[in-house]
Structure formats: structure tokens, C-alpha cells
Amino acid sequence: MTSDSVSSLSRRAVVAAAVSGAAVVATTGTAHAAARPAAAGPSRRPARRPATADTTPVPPLNVSALRAAVHDLEHPRLTAAQLRVSGSAGRWYGTAGVADRADGRPVHERDTFRIGSITKVFVATVVLQLAAERRLTLETPVQRHLPGLLPADFPPITVLQLLNHTSGLPDEQGVPDLSTPEAIARHRYDRWTPRQIVATVGHGPMKFTPGTKQEYRGINYVLLALLIERLTGRRYGEVIGSRILRPLGLRHTSVPGNDVRIHGPHVHGYMKMTNGSLLDITEYDQSEAWGEGEMISHTADLDRFLTALFSGELLPPRELRRMFTLPPDEVRMVDGTPARYGAGLQTVTVNGITFWGKTGERYGYASAMVATVDQQRRAVFSFNPVRRDATQLQATMRIAEALTKA
């Protein structure tokens, strides 16, 4: 593993956190209106009730706004987009662009795509299932289950603190910036192991005392996936398959492992190079996103997963409430904004409508699955930006506005 291969991981983590955080800030206004319960950490005061009883009426579907949001492929430049809206307040599906620029094939609802950090919801669900089965407790330090993996001088970090991104783990160290698309392309086939990923945070002081702040970090879910493997004796992807994918009939959702390709009908992702050309970046070794961002799915499967999760098919009530439960009010993001991550889900309020769900992104791909708690409105969308930076927020914001516009 070269130092340049490490830089790909570091840059991905930084960009993902920036995009996720900026999307919430840009489209909310009142994200902190969601419930804030007690989390493991210094504060143990009683929590307010999670936002599971929110029944704010959503506006009727604005089909013209939805269609316009999907069909704008220029702000920013996208090669494709698709949006599935469902729930008790109405259904709609629309696409734009092409799945493959080589043959001009339009996007179809059967097409799969890389879902990035939506993977974390699957991992969190399994961890909470194991907690419900009393195979672990969320207040137990992860070091007890994974001895010797983190430096001995690190403070105890609980499973819950990994789930809700309050771990305070150090930044990756000694990783040069991978700042050009050409460099990204050269390292697209680099192979990582989970322990190599964990080793990148094995130096330097903690960023903050665990449980006192919130910072979105993929490394938290690498550790959770390793925890799943330690407790079950099986690969975490196999556990997701046996506990979630097969029981729900999610035949188009997969954990690719070392396979760099997407098989079957799928949407291609593209990256704009320095000379302005577009490189097909669909083939990519996802081991750098092991445990936290590597899965593949499509809109119908993600809608089915979200429905099952919010309906209580996958978790008992106590564990499900953990997903909708934010840390206490005094626990804020490192930039000072209100905490917005529960145990696996993030929350955002747009035009007075509060959604819970998860965003995800990989090179050439951006996606999200969100729903109101009462499932009046669910939405799964995917679009394909040619630049992986803050410009893709324009598409996310446009779709969020269309979903909540009267």
C-alpha cells in the first residue's frame, strides 16, 4: 500500500463529510427540531422523546416541480438522475439522462448504482439487531470486542458513540492530498484491508472526548463492520445478506467485496478530467469504503428497505428508536451546528417537513433515501455528478425543495 493510495481514502472521507454536512445546513433551517435523547458520554440527563410521533402533514405531490428537479442536468452537470417518491401521500417516479454514454441508453428503474454511505444504515441495522439479541450492549467500549485494534492509550469508545458519530477518533495521519482527477483514476484499483483503514487513525490525539461532540466519520462504521464480523464469525456482507437482503427480497442490492464491477443493468458514473473529457469511473475498487460505503442497490430496493425499517420489520421498538434519537442538546457538530445523526440515520427539516434517512456518494454517484417517520412521504434518488464536490449540493437541494413544495 503506497502513501498515495492512502490519500484516496483521506480525500474521500473529507469530501463525504463536507458534502453531507453542507447538504443538511443548506436545506434545513430547523434540523434541531428533531428529538435529542441522551447518548453515551459525559451527559446522562433524561432524553426527550424521539421524533417518532411527528405527523406534520406533507403537501400534495408537486409533479411539475419533481419533474423539473430531475430533468435539470446542468446545475451541476449530471449524466443521469432518477427519483422515486412513495408513501401514503402519493407516488411518482422519474428519470433523466443516460445510463451509459457509450450507447445512449436511458436510465431505467431496474438500473443499479453505487449507494455510498447509505451502506451505513444496513450496518447500523445489523448492529442494533445484535444489541436486541443481547449479543452486545451499546454502552460497551468497542475495545472490549476488538482488543488491540485501536491504540491502548485511546479512551473507551462505546458502540453507540460509533453509531452516532461521537467517537472523537483522530484524523487520518500522513496522507497526502489526492487533488486531481487523474490521480484518482490512477488509484481506482488500489486494494485496502479493514485493518489498513483503521491504522490510518492510529496516530495523534483524539479530536475530542468521546460523547462530547459529533463529527461524521466513515471510520466509525469500519469498526462497526469489524464488530459484526467478530460477533458473528462471518463476513459483514454475508450477515447483511442473511439478516436483511434475503428476508426482504432485495435481489438487486449487494456488497461487492473485491469485485470492481457492477453487474447487470446499471447506471455508469463519470468523472470530469482536467482536460474537460469525461472518464467512465464505474469500475472502482470499493475496499477503501469497506464497511461504510461500498454497497450497490437501486431505488425500488432502497424504498423497500426504508419501508421495512421504519415499519418495525427489522428492529424492535427500543432499538428502532435509537436510530431516531439524537445526542443531548449540548452535543453539537464540531462546526457548532446542532447534532443531526442518530444511530445510523441523519435528519433534516426542509420547508417544515422533517425527514430521516441517509445520503451517500462515490465518484460518479450521489444518492439518498429519506422518509418522514410516519411514511407519508418517502423518497429515494440517485444522480450522477461529474465532479465530486460541493456543487452536487445543488441537485440535492433542488430535489429536497421539490419534495416539500406545495
| Predicted confidence (pLDDT) per residue in 214-259, tens digit | 999 999 999 999 999 999 999 999 999 999 999 999 999 999 999 9
Higher pLDDT, 36 or 339: 339
Task: Tell me what the mean pLDDT of segment 293-315 comes to.
Answer: 98
Residue 174's pLDDT is: 54
Residue 110's pLDDT is: 97
Mean predicted lDDT score pLDDT of the chain: 89
Residue 46's pLDDT is: 34
Residue 27's pLDDT is: 40
Higher pLDDT, 27 or 65: 65
Question: Rounded to the nearest 5 degrees, what angle is found at the Cα of 401, between the Cα atoms of 397 and 403?
Answer: 120
Can you give the three-state secondary structure of 125-137, one letter per residue?
Answer: HHHHHHHHCCCCC
Q: pTM for the complete prediction?
A: 0.90
Q: Which of 361, 395, 362, 358 is nearest to 378 (CA)?
A: 358
Q: Which residues, 6+ apart, have CB-to-CB distance to 56 below 8 Å?
A: 352, 353, 354, 372
pLDDT higher than threshold 70 for residue 71: yes
Question: Per CATH, the architecture of 3-404 is what?
Answer: 3-Layer(aba) Sandwich (3.40)
Percent of the chain with pLDDT over 70: 86
β pairing state of 332-333 and 213-214:
parallel
Element (H, E) at 82: strand 78-86
Spans of all domains in the chain: 3-404
Percent of the chain with pLDDT over 90: 83
Structural contact between residues 187 and 156, judged by C-beta atoms closer than 8 angstroms:
no
Question: Rounded to the nearest 5 degrees, what angle is found at the Cα of 281, between the Cα atoms of 275 and 282?
Answer: 160
Residue 204's pLDDT is: 83
pLDDT higher than threshold 70 for residue 284: yes
Residue 203's pLDDT is: 84
pLDDT higher than threshold 60 for residue 2: no
pLDDT higher than threshold 70 for residue 177: no
Report helix, strand or coil for 139.
coil
Grid cell digits, residue 229: 464480523
Task: Tell me what the mean pLDDT of segment 333-361 comes to.
Answer: 98
Task: Tell me what the mean pLDDT of segment 135-141 comes to.
Answer: 98
Per-residue confidence band for 5, with pLDDT thresholds at 50, 70 and 90: very low
**Phi and psi at residue 369, to the nearest 5°:** -130, 125
pLDDT for 367-396, tens place per residue? 999 999 999 999 999 999 999 999 999 999
Residue 6's pLDDT is: 37
pLDDT for 199-217, tens place per residue? 999 888 999 999 999 999 9
Residue 84's pLDDT is: 98
Report helix, strand or coil for 300.
helix
Residue 53's pLDDT is: 56
- How big is the chain, counted in residues? 406
Grid cell digits, residue 25: 445546513
Residue 82's pLDDT is: 98
